[in-house]
Amino acid sequence: MLFQVIGAMAEFEREIIRERVFAGLRRAKVNGTQLGRPKVEVDVESAMRLREEGLSYEAVAAQLGVSVGSIRGALNGR
């Protein structure tokens, strides 16, 4: 019975934390705060040229100074 009471209290606390997080996110959106990581600009033409030269995604990313995921996303049209 004690474990059930402790479990119920933990579940209640988790729900309160969840509500506070969602309220904070809503408030940030209303205030115009940009959420998440900033977008990285990728020179798509240079990336495509380097890929056509036979370089790997990793080598292209290193030359352009961005992450491999940014290169893949830019070249796949995301």
Is 42 in the same domain as 65?
A: yes
| pTM for the predicted model, two decimal places | 0.56
How many CA atoms within 13 Å lie on the side-chain side of 40? 15
Is 43 in the same domain as 29?
A: no
18: helix, coil or strand? helix
What CA–CA distance (Å, rounded) separates 75 from 60?
11
Is 49 in the same domain as 77?
A: yes
Is 31 in the same domain as 42?
A: no
**CATH assignment of the domain containing 44:** 1.10.10
Tens digits of residue pLDDT in 8-54: 999 999 999 999 999 999 999 999 998 988 888 999 999 999 999 99
Is 26 in the same domain as 47?
A: no
Tens digits of residue pLDDT in 58-76: 999 999 999 999 999 999 8
Domain range enclosing 63: 37-78
